[in-house]
Chains A and B, each alone.
Chain A
Amino acid sequence: MGLCIEANLQDPDDFYEALIDAHRGLTPQQSELLNAKLILLLANHVGDLDVLREALDRARAGLAPAEGA
């Protein structure tokens, strides 16, 4: 089973609102930490390294490394 890219969220709008709400009142640094924790929690929930690599590839697609990076 590869990465699911069809609609799978029970309630997309509720999820999106909850995601944005979770960052309310946080500094950009705190938000970055929240995102990092969230990624780790969800990655562990997924577990399958092939699925995670596919997600990483899709997330990275189209992003060219900056000059000098």
Chain B
Amino acid sequence: MRRAVSEKAAIGYVRSTDEGTAEPVRHPVIVVGAGPVGLCAAIDLALGGVRVVLLDEDDTASVGSRAICFAKRTLEILDRIGCGDAVVARGVSWNLGKVFCGDDLVYTFDLLPERGHRRPAFINLQQYLLEEFLIDRAREVDGLSLRWKNRVVGIDPSPDSVLVEVETPSGRYRLVCDYLIACDGARSPLRAMLGLEPRGQTFKDRFLISDVRMHAGRSTERWFWFDPPFHRNQSALLHRQADDVWRCDFQLGWEADPMAEKAPERVIPRVRALLGDGVDFELEWVSVYTFACQRLERFRHGRVLFAGDSAHLVSPFGARGANSGIQDAENLAWKLRMVLRGAAPDALLDTYDDERVPAADDNIRNSTRSTDFITPKSDVSRRFRDAVLALAKDHPFARRLVNSGRLSVPFSYAQSPLCTPDADAFAGAMTPGSPAADAPVRSGDSDSWLLAHLGGEFTGVYASDGGPLPPHVVEDMLALERDATPLRTLVMVPARAALHAGARPELPAVEDVDGLFALRYDARPGTYYIVRPDQHVCARRRSFDAAWARAAVARATCRPVHADAGYGRRAAAVERRA
């Protein structure tokens, strides 16, 4: 059997100058665990100018079940941190899923039925390949110290710092940090050291993953079977990854012997039955897994913040593990940056819980529902599942009940205290809290995407009518950019309107080339959106007002809304009107 091992192995341990100092060296942020979540968090922080140390106990690919499906929102985050193109070029794009019952196709879903988005609904890529791209990126970024074979063996959080003890091939050393992000996985040692336990449900079922390498003329669609002829009374999944590797997933039932089922002589006949005779394949990786849907009660514990599997676990049906973990990382990165830079109070970090705990609950709810369908827990549950499948072939309504995994969609922070509630009427999906939808835009002769112009800092998107902006509006917009928490402006002009009409060159403008911005954001001339550093909408209005914009940014960073001298009275007037 081939071993699927990341090239992390080639990097290895290098002794840090922090080892062997008399006093522990202090860093702003330590991230523990260099999986996809820890790598994204560390890169995002470093790109924002926060020096970060990333510790990993190992120097090879992680052991255990690996993520293969990365959702559109994850790709957009990877775009923002500078490795989206590499990941998408290597991965296999897909939007279509098919569900079979027995021999019959009962349900087909298209996860991205509309055009005008830079990224597909999903790409499939082996987790170790994603990690390689992230490691390459991590090594390019200034201010990121990536340390392999650095195992955290002790943690001592205090009110103003976190002390960790780290074991390396050279011995033990200590580090101090302002904040620590624990991305150390489902069996998080840090979680155990702090005496924390996730709560939730475990499921009595076992599944076999076998990743096989083969040349096959199959499509890249996700194929899921209930009760297929080649694996009676259980479910199966076939899904393509990069480099001619295919994921074959077989439900085994609770009674299956996990050790025996991993033996190649047991696995090969199952895979052959799925693929059919005459297909040559090679086993790449085999694992038998069970799963749970559970989470920590809170993800923030003082200066220690849990992200990804250490904070919450779901079943794999729905691609909600790694994708939600990467969204945790992005949510934390900008908040930590603001707090460390003194632009926001520590209370901003509490909103990590306000936003990501409900996101985890949404994932757990969807994952639990899928699991109840795939692995019914009672006779009556099984009977209804079978009834749905029996009806699905000839009854369109029943196809919508077939649940082989509801695939990850980004969570909207609609209930977040960081959102400014709408005072004006808007239609469409871009309510405050939503991840900003993409749209094609053009600047000059160059085509690009809206999301490429958003993120990193707060950005105000102003829909102009294509005519010149009044000089005082331009002055106000430029002044916002000079604030302690800068609010950049992007002027959106209608298709075929002259760019930069009346605007200064320092006020960037793009053309809503297909009118999709206007459509997706329900924008008309004057409409103004404020988008957070993580590309989530936090406020919108039918007209631009600098005092209102400052108040919205203050709210989105947990600062007192009327604190800044010079705009307090005007902001108060706006509040009263609202």
Contact = CB atoms under 8 A, between A and B. Distances in A.
A37 B397 contact: no
B429 interface: no
A41 B395 contact: yes
Interface size class of B (residues with CB under 8 A): 10 to 19
Nearest to B396: A44
A44 B384 CA distance: 14
A36 B378 CA distance: 14
A36 B386 contact: yes
A50 interface: no
Nearest to B397: A44
B106 to A, nearest CB: 14
B401 A40 contact: yes
A40 B384 CA distance: 8
Contacts of A32: 380, 383
Interface in A30-68: 32-33, 36-37, 39-41, 44
Contacts of B386: 33, 36
Contacts of A36: 380, 383-384, 386-387
A33 B401 contact: no
A33 B397 contact: no
A41 B401 CA distance: 12
Interface string B374-402: 00000010011011101100010110010
Contacts of B380: 32, 36
Interface in A16-35: 32-33
A37 B385 CA distance: 10
A40 B383 contact: no
**How many of chain A's residues touch chain B, expressed as a range?**
under 10
B390 A33 contact: yes
A33 B380 CA distance: 9
Contacts of B398: 40, 44
A32 to B, nearest CB: 5
B378 to A, nearest CB: 9
Interface in B305-320: none
A40 B460 CA distance: 48
A32 B387 CA distance: 9
B321 to A, nearest CB: 29
A32 B386 CA distance: 11
Contacts of B395: 41, 44
Interface string B390-426: 1100010110010000000000000000000000000
A33 B395 CA distance: 16
A39 B395 CA distance: 14
A65 B386 CA distance: 24
A37 B398 CA distance: 10
A49 to B, nearest CB: 13
Interface in B148-189: none
Which of B384, B387, B390: most chain A Cβ within 10 A? B387
Nearest to A36: B387
Contacts of B383: 32-33, 36
Contacts of B391: 37, 40-41
A40 to B, nearest CB: 6
Contacts of A37: 387, 390-391
Contacts of A33: 383, 386-387, 390
Contacts of A41: 391, 395
A41 B380 CA distance: 17
Contacts of A44: 395, 397-398
A62 to B, nearest CB: 18
A20 B364 CA distance: 41
A34 B357 CA distance: 41
B172 to A, nearest CB: 51
A22 to B, nearest CB: 14
Contacts of A39: 384, 387
A51 B387 CA distance: 22
Contacts of B388: 40
A32 B381 CA distance: 11
Nearest to A29: B383
A44 B386 CA distance: 16
A40 B387 CA distance: 8
B421 to A, nearest CB: 27
Nearest to B384: A36
Nearest to A47: B397
A33 B384 CA distance: 7
B254 to A, nearest CB: 19
B102 to A, nearest CB: 15
Interface of A: 32-33, 36-37, 39-41, 44
26 contacts: A32-B380, A32-B383, A33-B383, A33-B386, A33-B387, A33-B390, A36-B380, A36-B383, A36-B384, A36-B386, A36-B387, A37-B387, A37-B390, A37-B391, A39-B384, A40-B384, A40-B387, A40-B388, A40-B391, A40-B398, A40-B401, A41-B391, A41-B395, A44-B395, A44-B397, A44-B398
Q: 10 smallest A-B Cβ distances: which pairs?
A: A36-B387, A44-B397, A37-B387, A36-B383, A36-B384, A32-B383, A40-B387, A37-B391, A33-B387, A33-B383
Given A32-B383, A37-B391, 15 more contacts: A33-B383, A33-B386, A33-B390, A36-B380, A36-B384, A36-B387, A37-B390, A39-B387, A40-B384, A40-B387, A40-B388, A41-B391, A41-B395, A44-B395, A44-B397
